[in-house]
Amino acid sequence: MSKKVLVVGGAGYIGAHSCLLLAERGYDPIVFDNLSNGHSEFVQWGPLEIGDIRDRARLDAVLAKHQPDAVVHFAALIEVGESVTNPAAFYDNNVIGTLTLLSATMAAGIDAFVFSSTCATYGLPDRVPMDESHRQTPINPYGRTKLIIEQALKDYSDHKGLRSVMLRYFNAAGADFEGRVGEWHTPETHAIPLAIDAALGRRGSFKVFGSDYDTRDGTCVRDYIHVLDLADAHVRAVDYLLAGGETVALNLGTGTGTTVKELVDTIAAVTQRDFPVEEAARRPGDSTALVANNDKAKAVLGWQPTYDLDAIVRSAWNWHSRTNH
């Protein structure tokens, strides 16, 4: 019989792509989502249970009904700028909500938990690329809410027997190559969809925030990782925990840094469209460079990112040019 996985936030961007791969690899994904940022159209590989992670009674009911073998948790508020203007919402959802989910998970007798964390837990880099031993001093409320849960998971592992894999994403990008699901945020704040929208004429220009950084062309460096590579790591994390694996934190990035200007050039080349690029002032809190050392994820999960920036942009272009998202 197929093993069941409760995918919390499974109607969102990374969650939906993970459901796709879980189903392809023989799992039964059950999506739990309040649809505040997710989309019911993205739930294509198993049932949708509508609910909020702060609602313990609803969580208990869904866990009792489906009796999953593992929980994968994506549900979070993620917009860094919003976390600065409205930190209370981030603590309420990302901390109180996740602690409620953890209590429900343990009460249901589940001991395998995969957590969507972030490179934002590191804060400003001491060194690049960054490995998992890099100090964690986040510089915004979003990163702090994720770090609090990492610390709770380590305590729950040590003292309550809940084993977890904490996956620290770098810059998720791209879409399913068949166009079944893709990136659909409201409002959109991520660089690749914003640049593609400019190339499609849906917005006037693409803004580059800061061109005076100490990098090869003056713009920030980021590590863009295809959402299907992220999804693959989540399925492998479930495999690992269900095989008895111990609690671990892992970076998910390609290990290759791309400047914003290089990203713009790649998008122009792939789309064969020039689009207006506007230089703007630096944004407070933006790091000069964020690049992953991913050796540990390769060693622990046997994971290997397979898609380069060109494939990321092609898949994103395919999705955004065919839809209005």
Task: List the catalytic residues.
Answer: 142
Q: Specify the residue for token string 């994820």.
A: 297
**Whole-number CA gyration radius for the chain:** 19
Q: How many CA atoms lie within 13 A of 194 on its CB side?
A: 17
Six-digit token pair at 165? 């894999």
User: How far are the Cα atoms of 113, 115, 248 from residue 158, in angstroms, in the given order?
Assistant: 14, 16, 12
> Measuring CA to CA, which residue among 57, 4, 49, 12 is closest to residue 31?
49
Q: How far is residue 77's CA from residue 293's CA, in Å, rounded to a whole number?
A: 25
Report whether 237 contacts 70 (CB < 8 A). no
Contact criterion met (CB below 8 Å) for 117 and 98: no
Q: What is residue 31's three-state secondary structure?
A: strand
- The DSSP annotation for 248-298 comes to EEEEES-S--EEHHHHHHHHHHHHT----EEEEPPPTT--SEE-B--HHHH
Q: How far apart are CA 196 and CA 174, in angstroms?
A: 11
Tell me the C-alpha distance between 163 and 153, whole Å.
8
Contacts for 182-187: CB closer than 8 Å, 24+ residues apart: 182/13, 182/315, 182/316, 182/319, 182/320, 182/323, 182/325, 183/13, 183/227, 183/316, 183/319, 183/320, 183/325, 184/13, 184/39, 184/42, 184/323, 184/325, 185/13, 185/37, 186/37
